[in-house]
Every structure is written in structure tokens, then in C-alpha cells.
Amino acid sequence: MTGPAGAPGTAGEPGYAVVVPTLVRDTLADCLASLVAAHGPKPSEIVLVDDRPAPANEDREALEHPLSVLGDLRHRTTVLPGGGRGPAAARNTGAQAVAAPWIAFLDDDVQVGPHWCDQLADDLAAAAPDTGGIQGVIAVPLPGERRPTDWERATAGLAQALWITADMVYRTEALKQVGGFDERFPRAFREDADLALRVLDAGWRIRRGRRTTRHPVRPADRWVSLRQQRGNADDALMLRLHGPDWWRKAAAPRGRIRRHAAITAAGAVACLLAAAGRRRAACLAALTWALGTAEFAWARIAPGPRTRDEVVTMLLTSVLIPPAATRHRLEGLWRHRDARPWTEVVGP
């Protein structure tokens, strides 16, 4: 690949487009309203990619209210179908539909700051020719009257994460050079880190900008942390694509997958030994499983509000998460055993 040496300059105020992949959640209207209200030069284009699988007529009506808040920006807005293929594919669909030199990706559950457009213009004007991406500053509001829950703490981690597409701007040329987002990442997880690593490998720089965006903690049920374990399959793809040290490259937390695997193995061995009639050995293995599970549960309970509902949720999910995480990791390793770089998959 060639590097960014021939990238165009950024004199004046470079134009930008906004791409928002959406499942048309209730948060979309607030996201668009914050964009309309933000001071500064507005985007030349807005593309909403409706990523619901084949929405019915009544589902299409759900877009009417979010579109109505756009006001004068409505004529700059295009709605495209995403086909339910995930946010990575939806962002590619949106990026391919715009002509601006910069693309600002926003998630549909964020609210840009009151001076976001001005700050973005400053970010783009200050970008060097070899700047391929500029990350926004994410703020996650947490309750001040109590300790945050496990889900709230997980969401708050976005404020420290690198390159997240809750608010991430990429130079269109850089995106084209690396083939855009890798559509083998089906969830809003790791697809942003993968893209950033490929952009950096191509010789571009990514820096942090001045603009701020608010990411509220959206409501979630008791089992949200269990569903999040599907991301272990995406970690397996990252391992195949970027090597065993991808965690360090992406400044990502290592996670507990090794402990989860050990706890799962201890539980499985305990069951097998019990079935074989080896009670003493089965008890030792079961004790290992219980201690590992208890440590995991307490690590999640201790920093939280310790309400009855939160404690029950942590106990239940702490039993189920290790085997779920292990299963998803093994499935991911198998599914992506022959994974090739994304540019080889999509071609030039």
C-alpha cells in the first residue's frame, strides 16, 4: 500500500459528511436534534443507514419523527437501507454514498455537544496532510448519588477507549485506501479498532480532536452482560488479523477470557469426574469452579451500588458468563481460522 504522502491539504474549512448507522431507536431523534442545534458549519451531507432487516411499512414510519427534527438539514439528508448486516457494513454503505473529503461517523445513541460543528471545523482545519482520522472526546454521564452499576461502568469505559465510532472522523481517501470497515465484524465491537489499526498501518496518523460528544447510558435488561460475550468471537478475528499483541496495539483491556476458560474447564471436569464416580476429585474441581466464579462475581459486585437487584444480576450472570465467553471464543477461532486481511477479501 502507498502511504498518505500525496494527501491533499486542508486549507480553509474542509467539507464533511455525517454518516449514522441506525436501528431507528428512540435515541436517533435526540442525536439528530443535537446535530441541528450545534453551532458552526453544518455537514454538506447526512446519510442515515437504516440497518433494520427489511423494515415493514409501519417500521418505516418510525423514521418520520427523527427526520422531522432535521429542519433545514432535511434536504441534505439521504436514507439508505442497510439490510441488517451490522454497523460496519452500514457505515461502508453510507461512506460510499458521499463525496465529501471527510466523513464523521456518529452512533445513533449519542448527542453531539453545543459547539460540535465549530470544534469539528477546527479539528479538520488543523489536520496535517498525513492525518487520516480524528477522534472525538466522549463523555458518559453517570449517576452522582450512587455507585454505577456494572452496565454503567461498561458504558463509561467508552470515554477512555481509542478510535470508537461513537464520534470518529476519517479522511475519505484513507478509508478508500484500506477498504473501509471490515464487514466480518457483525456487531458494534472491535470493528472500529480494526479499522484504525489498518489506517495506521497504511501510514496515516490518527489524533484526538477537541469536539465533545455525550454518550448516555441506554437502558438495558439483566442479561446485557451475557449478550456482550458474543464479542469474544470478534476478539478471535482481531487475533487472526493483527496478531497476539493486538491488545497492546489497540490499547484495549486484555479481559478475562483466560480465567473464564479455566473456570469453565473446572466446571466441566467436575461434572465428568462426578459422572465417573470419582467424588473426591470431583469435589476439588467443583471447589475450583466455585472459587473462580465467586471471585468473578465479587469483582463485579464490589464497585457497584450493591442493591438487591444488582447483586442478583451479578450472581446469575457471573455463573453464565465464563462458559458463554469460552464458547464464543472457540467458535470465533474456528470460524475465522483462515481469515485474510480485509483488503484481500474486498479486492482493490
pLDDT digits (tens, 9 = 90+) for 295-324: 999 999 999 999 999 999 999 999 999 999
For the chain, the average pLDDT equals 93
Look at 10-14, 56-60, 172-176 and tell me which has the smallest mean pLDDT. 10-14
Q: In this structure, are strands 131-139 and 205-214 parallel, antiparallel, or unpaired?
A: parallel
Q: What is the per-residue pLDDT for 58?
A: 54
The whole-number average pLDDT for the span 39-56 is: 90
Summarize pLDDT for 96-138 with one digit per residue, the tens: 999 999 999 999 999 999 999 999 999 999 999 999 999 999 9
As a whole number of angstroms, the distance between CA 171 and CA 164 comes to 15
0.85 exceeded by the pTM? yes
Which residue, among 161, 150, 143, 40, has the nearest Cα to 107 in the 3D structure?
A: 161
Residue 257: exposure state from Cβ atoms within 10 A (0-12, 13-18, ≥19): middle
- Position 60 pLDDT exceeds 80: no
Please report which confidence band the pLDDT of residue 8 belongs to, taking 50, 70 and 90 as the band edges.
very low
- Position 150 pLDDT exceeds 50: yes
Residue 168: exposure state from Cβ atoms within 10 A (0-12, 13-18, ≥19): buried
Strands (E), the chain: 16-22, 45-50, 77-81, 102-106, 111-112, 131-139, 167-171, 205-214
Summarize pLDDT for 202-260 with one digit per residue, the tens: 999 999 999 999 999 999 999 999 999 999 999 999 999 999 999 999 999 988 999 99
As a whole number of angstroms, the distance between CA 279 and CA 163 comes to 51
Bridge partners, residue 106, by sequence: 167
As a whole number of angstroms, the distance between CA 282 and CA 266 comes to 9
Q: What is the per-residue pLDDT for 7?
A: 39
Q: What is the per-residue pLDDT for 10?
A: 40
The whole-number average pLDDT for the span 160-179 is: 96
Residue-wise DSSP of 142-173? --SSSPPPHHHHHHHGGGT-SS-TTEEEEEHH
